[in-house]
Amino acid sequence: MSLKVYNTLHRKKELFEPIEKGKVRMYVCGPTVYNYISIGNSRPIVVFNMVRNYLQFSGYKVEYIQNITDVEDKIIKKADEEKVDYKVITTRYIKAFLEDVKNLEVGGFNKMPLATEMIAEIIDIIKKIIENGYGYVVDGNVYFEVSKFPAYGKLSGQNISEMKDTEDNSFEKRNKIDFALWKKAKEGEPFWDSPWGRGRPGWHIECSAMSTTLLDRNIDIHGGGIDLIFPHHENEIAQSEAAFPGEGDFVRYWMHNGMIEVKSGKMSKSLGLKKNWILKNLLKSYSPDTIKMYILSTHYRSPLEFSMEKLEEAEKALEKITNTLKNIKFLIEQKEGLSDGETGGKADMQVISRLGTFARKFEVNFKNSMDDDFNSARAIGDIFEFIKNINNIIQKPDFKNNASLKKSLSGAYIKIKELGLVLGLNFIKEVSRISEDIETRIEMTKEEIEKLITEREAARKNKDYKKADEIRNYLYSMGIILEDRKEGTLWELKDNRDEK
């Protein structure tokens, strides 16, 4: 199967064929930096990170650009409220955004241009729009004349003739649906010199300027949330195609993610929901993997409900995977049963061949799911199917480990990790993230924990069950859960949610 992408422009899934063979140029609208980003703002970042990863996994070289809007009405309003220069606001929230992206372990943008760094390019494209007859100047403001661009509405399905009627006499625009390309600076506002006087760019124009300049007018994928289809992306099409007429569609595939929604009224009643709506806060309670698991467990175009229950579900689901990986790792590292002869070859060959079949099936299914418009929800289901098949083998009472089996298990382990990473999931909860945290969270070092476990094992061997229980209870009170297995004792931290 080959990759199919749902193209908002044609409202259907289409075979993906980039403009240049083997290369994909991708532009995604980024945040306006006047506040901390929400979980809602995080969805496109997680989704398009997965899209980029899968394109790379499929052999494409990907150039991925995401802009940052650092001059805009909301920023100026916030600066006024705080009585500071707008740059104080943008510096603060750009820093916060970069931290969020890093903590969420997504991103890896090839370029992250700021609007204020592209003013020359923005002025250039506005000039072209005016020269080509699509823009007009009124007293230092420049507007796009929508009625001159008959294709307006092709992305969003809006009907201009219905919109045109609403004349706005209080305003200087020729028609209400005309939109600003350049805004004259008011007293105290940030400004740049331009052929039309001092002013600043309108919001929509920066994306046209950046995407056409930085991707050489060969844009394969342009993405963002569905809330950007109208007017933002509709206006981007009008601007870009008006500036460069006769070049065909400005973008080949328009991709839009659905919104994250809170059930009506719930947000105002729940303090937890309100607090956790901000990504920075959410990351204090949940691992980046959990947040990504929550987002990717629903197809990117579908609406996604925001609730603590959904996050708990994602965390539990993730645990099933990380636990299985931990069990596999335990078997791979197990010292006993090294020689194949010990367990008799014939039955093992069957187990190994079954594992191989499951692994191949897993990879084929995963690719088919992702080829179907990046269906990460189904791809996660494919991981679970594989995990279930592995558990059916390794949890059997008569299961015996040996060297050949370890090799197969090792292959399965690597495959799960590899395809997990395509989605942006690390599956490393037990391994590094938590052990890094141990000292601050439970005031015990890993060595101390392991020393107590050894003492407990000695006590059990001596049939001193009272002492063994005391150690178990003590560790439990410190937030550590023990799991006795025939191969030895495993430990892990109590769930995050017990702490809250």
Q: Closer to Zn ion at the Cβ: 3 or 209?
A: 209
Q: In the complex, what is the shortest distance from the CB of residue 70 to Zn ion, in angstroms, rounded to a whole number? A: 13
Segments of 335-487 assigned E as strands: 480-485
- Residue 405's CB is within 10 A of a number of other CB atoms, namely 23
Kindly list the distances between the CA atom of residue 367 and the CA atoms of 256, 411, 424, 454, in Å, as whole numbers in the listed order: 21, 18, 15, 44
For residue 63, give both structure tokens: 């150039």
Question: Which residue is it, tokens 């965390």?
Answer: 315
Torsion angles phi and psi, residue 302, rounded to 5: -85, 155
Q: In the complex, what is the shortest distance from the CB of residue 66 to Zn ion, in angstroms, rounded to a whole number? A: 9
Question: Which residue is it, tokens 């014939």?
Answer: 346
**Amino acid making up residue 62:** V
Q: In the complex, what is the shortest distance from the CB of residue 301 to Zn ion, in angstroms, rounded to a whole number? A: 19
- Number of alpha carbons in the 13 Å side-chain half-sphere of residue 337: 19
Q: In the complex, what is the shortest distance from the CB of residue 449 to Zn ion, in angstroms, rounded to a whole number? A: 49
- Give one DSSP letter per residue of 143-200, joined into a string: EE-GGG-TTTTTTT---HHHHHT---TTSSSSSTT-EEEEEEPPTTS--B--TT-SEE
Q: Find out whether 142 and 197 touch, Cβ atoms under 8 Å.
A: no
Between CA 47 and CA 292 the distance in angstroms is 9
Instruction: Put residue 374 in one of left, alpha, beta given phi > 0 → left and psi -120 to 50 → alpha.
Output: left
Q: Closer to Zn ion at the Cβ: 90 or 298?
A: 90
Spatial neighbors of 396 by CB under 8 A, at least 6 apart, are none
Q: Closer to Zn ion at the Cβ: 6 or 203?
A: 203
Q: In the complex, what is the shortest distance from the CB of residue 88 to Zn ion, in angstroms, rounded to a whole number? A: 24
Q: Closer to Zn ion at the Cβ: 101 or 283?
A: 101
How many residues are listed for the chain in this entry? Answer: 500
Q: In the complex, what is the shortest distance from the CB of residue 277 to Zn ion, in angstroms, rounded to a whole number? A: 23
Cα first-last separation, the chain: 45
Q: Closer to Zn ion at the Cβ: 118 or 390?
A: 118
Give the helix ranges, DSSP H, for 301-344. Answer: 308-333
Q: Closer to Zn ion at the Cβ: 29 or 68?
A: 29
Binding site for Zn ion (CB under 5 A): 29, 207
Q: Find out whether 214 and 113 touch, Cβ atoms under 8 Å.
A: yes
Between CA 282 and CA 328 the distance in angstroms is 30
Kindly list the distances between the CA atom of residue 18 and the CA atoms of 22, 60, 215, 281, 292, in Å, as whole numbers in the listed order: 7, 9, 13, 38, 27
Q: Closer to Zn ion at the Cβ: 29 or 293?
A: 29
- Give one DSSP letter per residue of 363-394, joined into a string: HHHHHHHHHBT--HHHHHHHHHHHHHHHHHHH
What 3-state DSSP class applies to 355?
A: helix
Q: In the complex, what is the shortest distance from the CB of residue 394 to Zn ion, in angstroms, rounded to a whole number? A: 49
Q: Closer to Zn ion at the Cβ: 28 or 331?
A: 28
Q: Closer to Zn ion at the Cβ: 239 or 298?
A: 239
Q: In the complex, what is the shortest distance from the CB of residue 106 to Zn ion, in angstroms, rounded to a whole number? A: 18
Q: Closer to Zn ion at the Cβ: 51 or 318?
A: 51
In Å, the largest CA–CA distance within the chain is 92
Q: In the complex, what is the shortest distance from the CB of residue 233 to Zn ion, in angstroms, rounded to a whole number? A: 7
Between CA 332 and CA 409 the distance in angstroms is 7
Q: Closer to Zn ion at the Cβ: 29 or 351?
A: 29
